[in-house]
Amino acid sequence: MKLSWLTLVVVLIAVGIVSMLVGVTQLSLAQVVDTLFQGGDYDFVVNQYRFPRLLLAIGVGAGLGVSGALVQGVIRNPLASPDLIGVSAGAGFAATLLLTIYPDAPVWYLPLAAIFGGVSVGLALVIIAQAAKLPPARMALTGIAISAFLASGIDFLLVVHPIEINTAMIWLTGSLWGRGWEQLPYIWLGLAILLPIAYGTHGDWISSALVTNLPLLWVCNSKRYR
């Protein structure tokens, strides 16, 4: 397991270095290092574009990976993901509703709305599953139905509010375009609060999903989960 984590870290560092070097403006490693610490001719490209977006991408990737691992543990299916049970659709619907009704909302309203929407759908699914005593497979099917319903709601909002469609679509599809240091505290503050909670409560699920052959692990432990 330690070797797997080390491999992931090495790959992450390698990809990060490449992302700092490659682009419209090709830079050498020495130029990037000098610019990071001393500024210079490429200060805007490195310190305002590439470096903050690299940190944002790492943070978003970490959040997506952990959320997927948690969902796989709950559903007990290696193919499960937050969009499978409607959490992503709930977050997207809440954010789209905010953008269409209040297009001039401060940037920090968006993550709050998305968290509220995702948590609401997750809690609703848990309540339904417990009330109906749904097994993991039927819980996943219920989540798919909720996700489809919310996706139709998102489409309805985009049709009714065509002027705000561009902002909403950019947010829904996800992009690092136009992102920088301003957005960085939101993602990393959230990770600093939520990752320790996730690892403290379900660290075994996360480690298994991220660094092992999860399908094999799931098959081997299927009897225990039953």
Q: State the residue for tokens 């990770």.
A: 191
- The tokens for 200 are 């403290």
Which residues neighbour 52 within 8 Å (Cβ) at sequence distance 6 or greater? 179, 180, 181, 184
Q: What is the pTM of this model?
A: 0.71
Measuring CA to CA, how many Å separate 34 from each of 12, 19, 23, 54, 154?
21, 16, 18, 17, 46
Per-residue pLDDT of the chain (226 residues; tens, 9 = 90+): 555 678 888 888 899 999 899 888 888 888 888 888 888 888 888 888 899 999 999 998 888 888 887 777 777 766 677 777 888 889 889 988 888 888 787 877 888 898 899 889 989 988 988 888 888 778 878 888 898 999 899 888 888 877 767 777 777 777 787 788 888 888 888 888 888 887 777 666 666 655 554 444 444 444 444 4
